[in-house]
Structures are given as structure tokens and as C-alpha cells.
Chain A
Amino acid sequence: MVIYGVALLSGCLLAGAFLGDLLGELIGVEANVGGVGIAMLLLILLSDRLRARGRLNPTSQRGIVFWSSIYIPVVVAMAARQNVLSALEGGPAALAAGTLAVAVGFLLVPVISRIGRPRDADPPDPDPGADQ
């Protein structure tokens, strides 16, 4: 049933949000500490386990896939509801932050590519049975 997938996804988000609030409470910051990230981890682990046991059939998975495939439109809606006008004066900051992040990234590609390079150049084939 599609709702099983949606329910699993919702449960993960709720658990993540709760743990994030709890973590914030514990370390004394007024924030949801990593809740969405925790929810993502939970979803990865739980769905992986459930699928391995055959408890999450393709129909149920559709309930999660739908939400994942609609995230760009949701982000568009999110962008459309922000207070852009009062952000305008900060425009150059956004431009600079985005541009510099890309520049630093480009510069680091050759540096980090060297890590692990001495081992064999081609990664070995994925072990059989590890993936479906």
C-alpha cells in the first residue's frame, strides 16, 4: 500500500524532528539540531532493512518516491514565499558566497583527487550480491 511508504517517511521525519529538538535541549541551543539529517539517516537505514526483508514492496515505495520526485517544485514554492525584498540589499553577499564556494571547490578538486590515487586507478567491480 502506498500509504505505508508515506507513513514510513513521515515517521522518520517526526522522529528526526523530535531527536533534533531533544539534542538542542541537551546541548542548550534553541534549535532543531540536525533533525532533517537524522531523519534522512533513519529513512536510509530503515528502508534498506525493510527492503532486504521484503517488507517494503514497490507499491509502498511509490509513497516515498512521489515525495522525493516533487522536491524541486516544493523548493520553488519555498523560494516564492520568502521575504526577498528585504534580502535585496544582501544580494551581493549571496553572489559572493555562492561564487567563492564554487571557486574554492574547483581549486580543491586536483588536491583531493590525489588522495588514494596510488592504489589501483580503477575501482574494483561492486561485489556481487551487495546491490540488487
Chain B
Amino acid sequence: MTEILDLLQAVLVRHGLVTAFAFVGLVVWISYLVSDRLTRGRVHGSAIAILIGLVLAGVGGVVTQGDRGLADIPVFAGVGLLGGAMIRDLAIVATAFGVDLGEIRKAGAGATVALVIGVLGSFAVGAIVAWLFGYRDPISMTTIGAGAATYIVGPVTGTAIGATSDVVALSIAAGLVKSMLVMTATPFVAHRIGLDDPRSAMVYGGLMGTTSGVAGGLAATDERLVPHGAMTATFYTGLGCLLGPSVVFVTIRALFG
């Protein structure tokens, strides 16, 4: 029996990246099941999947005492490659495909202002919180600030400016909290913040930016607003990846470096 397990392990290790594809697929499948059955779709499957990813990273850390999460377990070494900066950046850049820059002009001044304030405001809030909690070097402040933008902008910025893995993990967690909160809280505050027409939905999408959060939150509020919010939110991550490791980092470095 142990021989068969050894054989299986050898196959999984030899096909590291393929194992990672199969494993992550399984995690995503379970996450969408949980989203459907336990939260009735209120918390989107993607958010649950990322949460499970973070938990698994913790499990990996406990098991191996290493600092690369699940990727330190030989069988899951491929997860390290799949989730490494190279493939991650390829996939994130690909999400820009099909985005029409003309759309933002049609959306009007409000949407553009919302985007810029949304991105820079999140950075500012996140960086201040980071400072208050004792993360006072410019790299950590910028990375956690980026995480307060989205869980993509966080790690992309962190990698670009050389943040440590634990700070990157915090930025993912901050983005995840934001995304889940936007999904679940939006219907409760929608009335109070005047989120009831396409224009306010576009502003909301630009301010929040987390695409999954915005789509989920608007779907629970008023299905018809989803495309309007999603339209501006699409630009948010790109803008964050552009401004984070440049203007924002240089500014924070000048102020706190």
C-alpha cells in the first residue's frame, strides 16, 4: 500500500504544474459549492476560493515550517509556480483584453473622478492603517495600501517594489476583506448612499473597484445596475497596478522613507 502511495506521490511531484492545475480546480469547485449551498451565492465563490488559498498557505506553513505556504510541500510545489509572479502577471494582464478605453469617456466625469479617488483613496486608507499597526516602511505601507485597493493590486505592487511574502499575504487579506464586505454590505447601504441609477452605479464601481465585490454587491441590490458598476470597476485594477508601484510608492517613500 505504501508503495502505491509512493508511486502516486512520485507522479504528482513529477507533474508539479499539472498537479497544481488539478488541485486548484478542485479548490475552486468546492468554493463555488460552498458559495452556492452555504451562502446562497451571497459571498462569491472566487472570494471563498482565495480565502481557502490563504488557509491552505497557513496549513503548509504549519506542516513544513517553511515560508512559501503550500508550495513547500513537495506534492504542491507546482502551486508555487502557478501562483508565482510570472504566470500571475500574465493572467492579470490578459484581463485587460477587450477593455474599451472609449467607454470611460462615455461614462463621464463622475466615473473618472470616482476611479482616481477610489484608487488613490484606498491606497491612502490602507497605508495609514498599515502605519498605525506598525508597518512603517514605505514598501509595506504601499503594499498594504495596494491591498486595500484590490487583492490583485496588492501582490502586483508588492512584487514590483520588493515586499516580503507576509506583507503580500496581508495585502491579499485586506483586498479579500474588502471584496467580501462589498458583496455582502452593499444591499444594506444602497438606499442610504443613493445607489439606485446607472450613474451612481458607475461611481460606485469606480470607488470600490473590486470587480467580484461590485458585481456581487450590485446583483444583490439591483440586477440592472451590474453592467454599469462592472464597467468602471474593470479599469480599477489596471489603474491601481499602474499607479501603485509608481506614483504612490514614490510619494510614500518621499513622505516616510
Q: Kindly list chain A residues whose C-beta atoms are within 8 Å of the C-beta of B207.
A: 105, 108-109, 112
Closest B-chain residue to A114, C-beta based?
B110
Interface string of A27-41 (1 = CB under 8 A from B): 101111111111111
Cβ of A3 under 8 Å from chain B? no
Number of B residues contacting the other chain (C-beta, 8 Å)?
120
Q: Kindly list chain B residues whose C-beta atoms are within 8 Å of the C-beta of A119.
A: 108
In angstroms, how far is the closest chain B Cβ from the Cβ of A70? 6
Closest B-chain residue to A77, C-beta based?
B83
Cβ of B36 under 8 Å from chain A? no
Give chain B's interface secondary structure class: helix
Selected from A34, A40, A82, A84, the residue in CB contact (under 8 A) with B93 is A40
Inter-chain CA distance A77–B99, complex, in Å, is: 25
In angstroms, how far is the closest chain B Cβ from the Cβ of A81? 4
Q: Kindly list chain B residues whose C-beta atoms are within 8 Å of the C-beta of A85.
A: 58, 61-62
Q: Kindly list chain A residues whose C-beta atoms are within 8 Å of the C-beta of B106.
A: 123, 126
Asked whether, in the complex, the Cβ of B208 is within 8 Å of the Cβ of A105, the reply is yes
Q: Kindly list chain A residues whose C-beta atoms are within 8 Å of the C-beta of B245.
A: 20, 31-35, 37
Q: A23-B246, A83-B166 are in contact. Are A101 and B122 (CB under 8 A)?
A: yes
Asked whether, in the complex, the Cβ of A77 is within 8 Å of the Cβ of B110, the reply is no
Number of A residues contacting the other chain (C-beta, 8 Å)?
85
Inter-chain CA distance A75–B189, complex, in Å, is: 29
Chain B positions within 8 Å of A, measured between CB atoms, are 20-21, 24-25, 27-28, 46, 49-50, 52-58, 60-62, 67-71, 76, 79-80, 82-84, 87-102, 106-110, 113-114, 117-118, 121-122, 125-126, 129-130, 132-133, 135, 144-145, 147-149, 151-152, 155-156, 159-162, 164-178, 181-182, 185, 189, 193-195, 197-200, 203-204, 206-208, 238-246, 249-250, 253
7 A-B pairs closest in CB distance: A37-B242, A98-B177, A77-B83, A79-B53, A78-B83, A93-B133, A40-B96
**Known pairs A41-B238, A97-B174 / 9 extra A-B pairs, C-beta < 8 Å:** A27-B250, A74-B82, A80-B57, A82-B54, A83-B61, A95-B177, A98-B178, A105-B204, A109-B200
